[in-house]
Amino acid sequence: MRVDILTLFPEIALAPLSESMMKRAQNAGLVEVAAHDLRDWATGKHRKTDDYLCGGGQGMLMKPEPIFAAIEELRTPDSRVILLTPQGQVFKQAMARELSNESHIIFLCGHYEGVDQRVIDELVDLELSIGDYVLTNGAIAAAVVTDAIVRLLPGALGDARSAVEESFSDPNLLEAPAYTKPIEFRGLKVPEILLSGHHAKIEKWRKERAIKRTRDNRPDLLGG
């Protein structure tokens, strides 16, 4: 897989992808990640990438010309062009799985008040938001989405089972609480059942606790 991130802040996008598992996935050749400074495609003395809103209004908008030039240079017939924006559909694990099958993703990172609509109409295949809040720029969101996709590539996780058993594999249930050693810490004990060796009872306990946690933290997943 290849990921190209088009942004005014390449360092912001790359920093979280340069450590730990993301670094290993790149070193192992599972994914090639590059971040590009949109200013490299801007022309004129000031290499302007933004301008005022037509029709008036607060803030600045990303201009179409550098974005068209950059994407026309970077894309191939197999590329999926994704705009990161709070106006997009909310990114979920199912979408991470779908995107992990792509061979080339180009992330276009929004900034200021967003991008000129002609970019979306002509170049963008999918608009994604990472949640119902507004970040200073889409480069942070591009790193988040890239991480979620790359860890699903075969060979990226040390233990392949962890991708299957974690939260959101069953999209309606969070994971059960988990404990490790020591068995007693500051008088706080690991639940007895987890030390019983009784696998059926442990599974039943985990399911009950997963349901309780979901009810407490994410009642929306249970439909209420």
Chain residues in the site for ligand ADE (CB under 6 A): 84-86, 110, 129-131, 133-135, 138, 141
* Shortest reach from residue 207's CB to ligand ADE, in Å: 33
Q: Which is nearer to ligand ADE, 30 or 126 (CB)?
A: 126
Tell me the residue nearest to ligand ADE as measured from the CB: 141
Q: What are the C-alpha distances in Å from 90 to residues 22, 128, 167, 216?
A: 23, 6, 17, 22
User: What is the smallest separation between the CB atom of 140 and ligand ADE, expressed in angstroms?
Assistant: 7
3-state secondary structure of 68: helix
Contact present, 3 and 35 (Cβ < 8 Å)? no
- Residue 134 CB, shortest distance to ligand ADE, in Å, is 5
What is the Cα–Cα distance from 42 to 8, expressed in whole angstroms? 11
Measured between alpha carbons, how far is 219 from 217 in angstroms, rounded to an integer? 6
Which lies closer to ligand ADE via its Cβ, residue 63 or residue 206?
Answer: 63
Would you say 1 or 128 has its CB closer to ligand ADE? 128
Residue 110 burial class via C-beta count within 10 angstroms: exposed 0-12, middle 13-18, buried 19 and up: buried
Smallest distance, ligand ADE to C-beta of residue 80, A: 16
Nearest residue (CB) to ligand ADE, 66 versus 138 = 138
